[in-house]
Structure 1
Amino acid sequence: MMSSKFYKSIEFFLIFIVTPVSFTLNYPIWIKLCIGLLGFGYVIYVLLKVEHNKFKIATNLDWKQFFKHTILKLLVIMVVTTLYMWLMDSDNLFIVFLNKPLMWLVLLFIYSLLSVYPQELIYRTFFFQRYQKLVSNDKLFIFINAILFSLGHLFFRNALVVVLTFIGGLLFAATFNKTRSTLLVSIEHAIYGCWLFTVGMGSMLGFPN
């Protein structure tokens, strides 16, 4: 039953459309947290019991190629975001990194562990394993994934966040489609996200300056 197209369609609609859109509405935060935790618990259950994931690190990962591509993309991101901050919000350029280095390190750790990895389990591992066979065109599937990843950040109510997460969604979906590694795509996600906090964009993502 849980592998039928009808069941997956309902599952897809509830997890990737209804839930993130509902988070933009004004209702108690504890209810949102409960919904989020229940949803994440469901994702883990399906990955373990239905998709039979073992959560083991693959032995054939091409680390050299991965870091080569990731660093090249990071350099572009660094130039673009630094210029943006310098032109549009110079007061916050590297503000946490320069003024509160300890808090900066703590934020990077919390973000990478408690935000990045769960997001990648949901939006890449779960999403690809559950729905990729339903879409024959890989480019279209990656585009859909990026749109939904962006939708998942609507609760920030910030147009720039929506744009950035769409671009990030394209990059992360392409990486996962190529490597099939939650670990690699989580590392890539963490690297880019940590840079955004470093350059001074953390406040728009809900982190203090």
Structure 2
Amino acid sequence: TTALPAFFVFGKASIGIADCVESMSQYALTNSKPIMVLFGLEYAHSIQQIRKALLESSISCKSDLKSEVHFADVPSPYMFPSKDIKKLSEIQEEACGCGNNSSSDGASGTIYNIGGLTWKLPEGQSMEDYSLFWIGQDNSAFANVVLTFNACEIVRYDATKNQMVTDLSQQRRILKRRYYLVERAKDANIVGILVGTLGVGNPCY
């Protein structure tokens, strides 16, 4: 917005905390890379519970999962006018600093933002060093993550079916094809727009 502040209200989809944590723990135990947990905004209300349950699970199983699993944050439901963009940046910095995947000593690093989520990686690390664990549906938000971080290993936890999906090969092929077509369109000198009239009956002459 340029003149008025905005306040975002996200939906609250149901999720089985225990099933999600179990899938996340099993994946963390078999994965050699640290894990970054991203999620659809409709599950943001459950992330603190998932963090707590994951910590309790790691303690009971005597496995140090906390240092291997990091969570993205939702910086703020507020959006300020463009003249207050500095204030918004400060809020995002503060949100990154309060997460369990960011150091609180003000250490330098790289801040990532995608789909309303934000997180900070320590200096010298990149997203290719992490595996991604997505909580949510196979929708446009997830497609954006897959396309943006296509070099990362990605798994998805389907909260509606309470199961983890690891085979994303078909979606990767579709996204690569889409990316190829977009690049072809960007290189074109002439772009034509075809307007369909499937909903209009053929005129009689």
> Does the alignment reach a TM-score above 0.5?
no
TM category, shorter: under 0.3
Bigger radius of gyration among the two? 2
Higher strand share: 2
User: What is the TM-score with the length of structure 1 in the denominator?
Assistant: 0.27
> Larger relative CO (CA 8 A, sep 6+): 1 or 2?
1
User: What is the TM-score with the length of structure 2 in the denominator?
Assistant: 0.27
